A and B are shown apart, each in its own frame.
Chain A
Amino acid sequence: MEDILEVRWHGRGGQGAKTAANLLAEAASAAGQYIQAFPEYGPERMGAPVASFNRISSRVIRIRSAVEEPDVVVVLDASLVHSVDITDGLPDDGAIIVNTDKEPHEMREELSLEGRQVFTVDANSIAMDTIGRPIPNTPMLGAVVRATDILDYESFLSIMKQELEKKFGSRPEIVEGNIQAIERAYEEVRSE
């Protein structure tokens, strides 16, 4: 249905693809949007390729089918580019956002991709600098908000802060690190 934005997240078990989809959904929901977030379920294995999905709309979402033609694909681990068909179903006007230290044109060549918008951001380095661990999912949220305009950036930031405080209230350094990660990824994401 045309008025629903669909997102597919690719990651490896343990990288937080499910959490990223849930956080995006919670932020969009708190901002008054209607949302869905659901993982693709198979055997749960650390490191195995996994996917999760979002639907976001200003209208009530009723569809319950799988997401087959996502508007946006987010790749949390660049090594998946060669093992998973990450552009499957991505329409001509779709966007792909990859966590990599490569430039967008390099990623485009690597994917042999024509059309579509390609975004890259080095979320691993950002996560190491800000959170101290290579967890790319929160910085990637910043990149997604920049790339898609699905949420107002300032309100997204304040919602994320609230959500993170709910989860890590007793550890302000984690909240602060994650917020910094989102801000940096929002600034540093590049596209072509």
Chain B
Amino acid sequence: MPTVTINTKYFSNLIGSVEIKKAIDQISKLGVEVAGFDDNEITLEITPNRPDLFCAVGLARSVKNFMHKSKKFRYAIEKTDPELSITVDNKVNEIRPYISAIIVKGMAFSEHALSDVINFTEKICEIHGRGRKRIAIGLHDMNKIRQPLYYGLYTDEKFVPLNEDKEMRYSEVIKNTEKGVKYGNIIQNGRRGYPALKDQEGTLALIPILNSNRTKVTHKTKDLLVDITGTSKYLTNKIAWLIASVFADLGCKVYGVNIKSGAVEEVSPMPDDREISVPLSDISHELGVDLSFNSAISLANKMGYYGVYLNEEIKVHVPEYRLDIIDWQDILEDFAIAYGYDYISAVNVPSSAKGSISEKNTFFSKLSELMVGLGFTEALNTYFTDEESNFKKMRTEEIDHVQLLNPKASTITMMRTSLIPSLLRDFGLSSNEKMPQRFFELDMVFSIDGRKPIEEYNLGAVSIDPKSNFNNIKAVVESLAYALDKNIKFKKFDHPSFIEGRCARIILNDEAVGIFGELHPEVLQNFRIEEPGVAFEISLARLYSDISQL
């Protein structure tokens, strides 16, 4: 979950008369996890669907709404300055086609306000921008810009990047700066040209990598240009509104920008007026309480919605900064949050039928109890292993097996094909314990048939015991077969994991369903086991064909 850290004093200023402890309490009721809170910092874990809460301004807005301290439900953009426009060259279409922009005037940045805004935009680029792939945001000092502006694809030009003192080529920025190395691959490191935003004096930004030093924003900056570039027009537009709402809440005036693309001229951001209606009865039903329309509207207001009552429905206006509202189901959740999950009364769901445990698990439970009765303790092991443990230590050849593509851990590469190696590893952990040691496991093994993955249940058991021999484990297998009423036969078999002449196959209806015998000393040694051991493993899927039909 995204973690956001905000300055406590700054946040305190933003929420005005609301007491800070109360505000923190309200925030957690919105589903935000308060991970840390002291006089300097508040650390929050916020679900990724609510980017509007990724900054102190947005959090303050929702707290004030929640406590009915604010009635600001709509955000508007001042009409555009006809002088200012961005002309888009259609060559960017294949690399990063869309740009939205806003102009912010009358900013009085405190130090905290500036870092709050910058952290906010960075977080959005990371989370919603998927590491700037889908969205990148640039802030520029408007008064340093000479209009008009162009967004296009350029050759390897020069500019002075942010916080540098000399000119660099675009290609050098990609190769030699931290941001270039990190984000260069988004534009294929410039192989097909470099997307850039330029004005009359040159480059404002190499997109989506680095801004120019010339238009750097400081706490003295009064007017800003914010550009949002990306791969989805819908998203660049929504993010423009999201940022506009933050500056509006800071008391600035926000203006639109004309975007010219070929013959098309549009104002950015495009209007984002959306209304959604939810029947009042549905809201009441969800909360388990009879709501009056007045209280429903009050709940809507708590979550920042302007709402009216019309034809027995509550019609709300979706705030411009909300990115997560797909349809009425999302609105319904906000009503529930405003009402408070703690206050939703429990209503039992009557059953229409009898419950039941699956036949498979009923059988497995019985089988496991039988194994316990035979003196074996149940083991629980990971399904993951590597070729070394699964095959080599068992002295067997590799067979087709399910392989992992991208394991983080170097110790695992595949899904196990057999239970015995898992069990042997367990013994290696407490070899000093009193003998005999007996483990069984009833769980899954994996293989591949052609291209089809096979998931099966096996029953495996190992007994490490100075006195163990072939006949002891054969007796266990016989007991099982008797209890399960299966008429099995034994057939001499040579298997590299077992001692030659002390191993047999278990045959049921002319099909091999399992194996048992005395473990080979080299296998024991491979697992650091110092006493003799016997083992068996049976395929339950072959023993019970109905079990394999999950």
Q: Judge: A and B partners, yes or no.
A: no
What residues make up the interface of B, taking CB atoms closer than 8 Å to A?
none
